[in-house]
Amino acid sequence: MQKEKMLKGELYTIDSELKQEMQDAQELVKQYNQLSIHQNEEQEAMIRQLFGRVGENPEVTAPIYCDYGKQVSIGDHFYSNYGCSFVDVAPITIGNHVFLGPHVHLLTPSHPISADIRNTGVEYAKPITIGDSVWIGGNVTVNPGVTIGSRSIIGSGSVVTKDIPEDVIAVGNPCRVLRAITDEDNHYWEDAYSDYMNK
């Protein structure tokens, strides 16, 4: 009952079912964080057990943190650096070729503004969606309900409180669009890559 409310974004409280699911996930997280960096097959197997959906070639650098795990979906060629948090009370949906810098926090839960209601222990959550080929710099916090458009870049230290469109560079607290990613940018990096491949 409470889990259904949680996943619908309604007010809910943590009951015995949710508490058990969270404890099971925390045990998996603890085991994952204790694996050797050379245990690549074990790491991938455990991430597939922890997260709801995992695409091809995931690279999730320990330590990681999450609440339930099962509400996290990552696409192909996903990379997250040290210390990332996936607080997945609501779904966290991540596309293909997404890079997360160190200590990125994806936070879906929220609490009532009214202190009296907040003090009762109820909470709610809103999903986070990240498109394809997004790069999120280190120490970024993404707040509940945010969508980040494909191919966009979020600068280090940003706090993302509102949706970010596709094909932009955005930074700051609160995070705002700095500028569009242009054809000029793409041509510059295509030439740089061509030089790199020919050396």
Q: Which of 38, 97, 111, 187 is catalytic?
A: 111
- The three state secondary structure string of the chain is CHHHHHHHCCCECCCHHHHHHHHHHHHHHHHHHCCCCCCHHHHHHHHHHHCCEECCCCEECCCEEECCCCCEEECCCCEECCCEEEECCCCEEECCCCEECCCCEEECEECCCCHHHHCCCCEEECCEEECCCCEECCCCEECCCCEECCCCEECCCCEECCCECCCEEEECCCCEEEEECCHHHHHHHHHHHHHHHHC
Is residue 111 flagged as an active site residue? yes
Enumerate the active-site residues: 111
